[in-house]
Structure 1
């Protein structure tokens, strides 16, 4: 049977951020931090500011996007007394004014962050938090949950660093898990590049689903397949009556179903159909004798970056297993 573990490892090297790109992103992020520190030193005498990275960049699950535009999240934490807490819009204005001259592009004041845009390369999202309690060395680890400046909801509890700690614990003795998350993100990225109208769940959703349904295996192809099947059995309530189409944060807010945003009939069906097709192709791939044929099965879902050109069969002729029937027909009448 075709063993493509080494091909998946090669794929991981292709899609994960290079050390040079990480260095470049950190340099830009740190420059933005200095802008904000300077602004607070000059304009705010009742508040101090600090920072905490968050999201996939900090968890080392960021992938090279097919669009070429990277997304970095850096939490801005404002400290002050309760009575000095600004309005949400005022907090956004402070950060916007601090970074407005950082690049030639005007920042975007979004619902949950201020975005600094580096043209045709990447952007840095700056979610803004308020805390009335500070420890000099581990400010984020105290009992007070930070409040996120959400323009439509007001100040709401949010703790992305707690999520980062949770994932670190999940991956601490399972380094394969981070690769599985990156493979899932590459799959999602490819599907949405193929169809810009298609809405796939967020990277956070895939991170949670992979962590909670992770299936370990000495081969990454089998580990990915096992994890996909476990995810499907967990959330596909169309095929499995015991499944529940839901995904909850392990940290604040633990009662928000993150899949609700992707539960409209068309969005849900498209995602679950794509998941089912991916699984069927994976099942066929691990049973094939020919590595080239198996690689083509995976490449259909992971994209041209999946390095099939480097795969060689031991036999001169393909020894692919012949299926008695074509790929199983899905709900959308497309084969795996």
Structure 2
């Protein structure tokens, strides 16, 4: 039985899987700072003429970068590091026209500014349904989704963690402000105008979940994401937020007190539960009405089967592998070559003294000791000591 926990994470050796997944995010941080400054300048210079009054936008970083679950991509440029930085305007600022017109104008204004910035920096500008994207390198891009937020919340919105204070409401499709919720955060959509979407809610959910379960939840989420990337399952819409929700749901079913401190054992227990989840509905923990499982029906069984194969491989490592090199080979096969080729980080434990056999072995040992004849030995000489 192999204990491969240190291959995944350890504080005693600088080389481990988590360390090798650590993204080089300096370019992302630079781009975020540059984009924010450029958009503020653009709004200061032209917002009064375009929108009718001057405004200074606010920003809120969301997604994997904010959750600290960002991994270095396994297969760039097809896979890239992603920084989501929302750009917020107050609802009163965009209500001057019909919702669809206001969303279109918002996209046009921000898009024009970012195209110019892309030209200056040598980046590539792209349009997505819910954001403006700047591809800043072969392995990374920044998305700027555009939001309208109630005025009172806009005044207190900061570029850090805030608590969501609004409740859910049905998304309205009509092109009138009266039919849109006035107390919700709205996301601009190129085809649909505005849709209800408050990224702070899921941000707060995951932050609270880590407060409850500790950093192990963050690490297990990163393991699942890295495995997905290595196998290119992102092509089936196996999203990061889906995997985070699956890990959290598995933790709840296993129970906090039953979660192993060993990385490999705990991850195995989580992976064993995921196939059931990806075959069905996975509720958004921050909004029960939303299903996070966007995997197409025709691919769900394939994705579930891939997780079952991963579970079988990890069971082989944890429960029956008796060779450290074989344990490394198996984990590198599943998770990729960023699992270090370090058999010295794997320990082989005898099945006779682990798992369910341990209590019986302990009882046998105790009986053997009790059966031995008692021996009287002299008490050891103990010198004077001082407590400290």
CA contact (8 A) 1:92 1:109 kept: no
1:246 to 281, 284, 295: 281
User: What is the match of residue 5 of structure 1?
Assistant: 5
SS across alignment from 2:236: coil
RMSD of equivalent CA atoms = 2.5
Which residue in 2 is equivalent to 1:88?
103
Separation (CA, whole Å) in 2 of partners of 1:273 and 1:142: 40
The whole-number CA distance in structure 2 between the counterparts of 1:200 and 1:130 is: 27
Residue 314 of structure 1 and its aligned partner are, at CA, apart by: 6.8
Name the CA distance, whole Å, in 2 between partners of 1:309 and 1:93.
Answer: 52
2: CA distance between counterparts of 1:60 and 1:235? Answer: 23
Q: Distance in 2 between matches of 1:176 and 1:189?
A: 20
C-alpha deviation, 1:158, in angstroms: 0.4
The alpha-carbon distance between structure 1 residues 83 and 235, as it changes in their structure 2 partners (threshold 3 A), is closer
Residue in 2 aligned with 1:53? 61
Distance 1:235 1:264, change over 3 A: closer
Tell me the residue number matched to 1:100. Answer: 115
Against the structure 1 CA distance between its residues 181 and 222, is the aligned structure 2 distance closer, same or farther, given a 3 Å change threshold? same
User: 1:200 Cα shift?
Assistant: 4.6
Tell me if 1:201 matches 2:241.
Answer: no
Q: Is the 8 A contact 1:200 1:271 kept in 2?
A: no
Change (3 A) 1:101 1:290: same
**TM superposition shift of 1:106:** 4.0
How far apart are the structure 2 equivalents of 1:78 and 1:296?
Answer: 51
Cα distance in 2 for partners of 1:234, 1:121 equals 30
Distance 1:258 1:175 in 2: 23
Which residue number corresponds to residue 38 of structure 2? 35
Counterparts of 1:18-29 in structure 2 under 5 Å?
Answer: 21-29=24-32
Alignment correspondent of 2:156: 137
* CA-CA distance at 1:292 after TM superposition: 2.0
* Alpha-carbon spacing, 1:121–1:272, altered in 2? closer, same or farther (3 Å): closer
> Over alpha carbons, which structure has the higher Rg?
2
> Cα–Cα, structure 1 residues 121 and 284, in superposed 2: closer, same or farther, change >3 Å?
closer
Taking the TM superposition and a 5 Å limit, the aligned residue runs for 1:212-223 are 212-214=249-251, 215=254, 216-223=259-266
2:325 equivalent in structure 1? 292
TM-score, normalised with respect to structure 1: 0.82
Distance 1:142 1:40, change over 3 A: farther
Indicate yes or no: 2:291 matched with 1:257: yes
Distance apart, 1:235 and its partner CA: 4.2
> Which of the numbers 183, 186, 194 marks the counterpart of 1:147?
186
Task: Report how far residue 251 of structure 1 moved.
Answer: 2.5
What count of residue pairs does the alignment treat as equivalent? Answer: 302
More helix by share: 2
Q: CA 1:286/1:200 → structure 2, altered by over 3 Å: closer, same or farther?
A: farther
The equivalent position to 1:112 in structure 2, one of 125, 130, 138, is 130
Instruction: Report the CA distance between 1:313 and its aligned residue.
Output: 6.5
**1:102-159 CA-partner distances (Å, limit 9, x unpaired):** 2324411210100011132411001100123134334664433210011122201101
TM-score (norm 2): 0.72
Whole-Å separation in 1 of the counterparts to 2:270 and 2:151:
41
Unpaired runs of at least 5, structure 2:
10-15, 167-182, 352-388
Match of 2:89 in 1: 78
> Structure 1: 5+ residue runs without aligned partners?
237-244, 321-336
**Which segment is superposed worse, 127-136 or 137-146?**
137-146
Instruction: Indicate if the aligned counterparts of 2:217 and 2:247 stay in contact, CA closer than 8 A.
Output: yes
Residue aligning to 1:210:
247
Secondary structure of the 1:87 match is helix
1:16 and 1:61 in contact (8 A); partners too: no
